[in-house]
Amino acid sequence: MVMKAIAQTKSSAYTIAAGEFKAKCLRLMDEAVLSQESFTITKRGKIIGDFVPVREERPFRSVVGRSPGVKVLGDIISPLPQEWTLPEWAWDKPKKSNKKVKKK
């Protein structure tokens, strides 16, 4: 079972007692998912949980091929020309200084 913590910015659409939720849970969950509304479950007047339906994530769609008017001009696979690459001195990581900072 995977549980995700979700920050809820608006209050629940309605509140339901735990006993009633137990008797009607499948129908309540189906209705909440269809309407994309959350509800709060209480036990003896105390909140014990919130049901928040998960939004369906859209599948990833690449930008390539989505724009019919875009045309690729030239070679996009070969390495970049020398003038577009970093010089060799920029490849090295910056050196750490050995100086210690005194705290007051």
pLDDT by residue (tens digit) across 59-88? 877 776 677 777 778 887 887 777 777 777
The SS3 assignment for 83 reads helix
Mean pLDDT of the chain: 78
Amino acid at residue number 11: S
State if pTM tops 0.85: no
Question: In the prediction, which pLDDT does 66 show?
Answer: 72
Res. 21: pLDDT tops 70: yes
**Residue ranges per structural domain of the chain:** 14-51
Choosing among 3.30.70, 2.40.70, 3.40.50, 3.40.1620, the CATH entry for 14-51 is: 3.40.1620
At 47 the pLDDT is 94
Is 33 in a helix, a strand, or coil?
helix
User: Residue 32's closest CA among 9, 48, 16?
Assistant: 16
Question: Residue 5's pLDDT is what?
Answer: 45
